[in-house]
Amino acid sequence: MTRPEPAGVAWADLEAAAPAIAADGGRLLHHPNGVGGLLATVRGDAPPRINAVSVAIVDGRLLVFVLPSAKRTDLVGDGRYALHAHQDPAAPSEFSVRGRAMQVDDAAIRASAAAVWPFEVDESYWLFELRIEAAVIGRRRTANDWPPVYEVWPPRA
């Protein structure tokens, strides 16, 4: 079976279409401990896999480096993902995106991403762009503010 071309948009397109969601989401994905979020991947009828990952927004792309693993096999074979930003009690808002991942082979993009990565990457790490089909932000000023105020992209009719 041939994998469909990734649908969705680049991070830069999300920034243009929904600047407040992208700004708040980008801040939540940039966590001081280097973990950008939890990445869920799927393959066929198998249960989803969830792993902590570092992500970066480089040149208008949401990127992740992945070592040889079941997660990488999922991204290559199926591509569907969901990414939820790391939640911090001091910044209790939540952010998630979903879509399809696309492997990036361009040496210049890879070099730009490696230059800002929180750890050393070598050739065993493959680079993927997380193309975005949907984004959700749940804003909370404090941990006591409930429920969050949600905003979605694309807006629901």
Tens digits of per-residue pLDDT, 27-46? 999 876 666 899 999 988 88
Residues 6+ apart with CB under 8 A from 83: 29, 36, 37, 38, 39, 40, 53, 55, 62, 96, 97, 98, 130
Q: What is the pLDDT of residues 99-157, one digit of tens each?
A: 999 999 999 999 999 999 988 999 999 999 999 999 999 999 888 888 999 999 998 86
**Cα–Cα distance measured from residue 55 to residue 35, given in angstroms and rounded to the nearest whole number:** 7
The listed CATH number (2.60.40.10, 2.30.110.10, 3.40.50.720, 3.30.70.260) that belongs to domain 11-153: 2.30.110.10
Question: Span 64-76, mean pLDDT?
Answer: 95
Q: Where are the domains of the chain?
A: 11-153
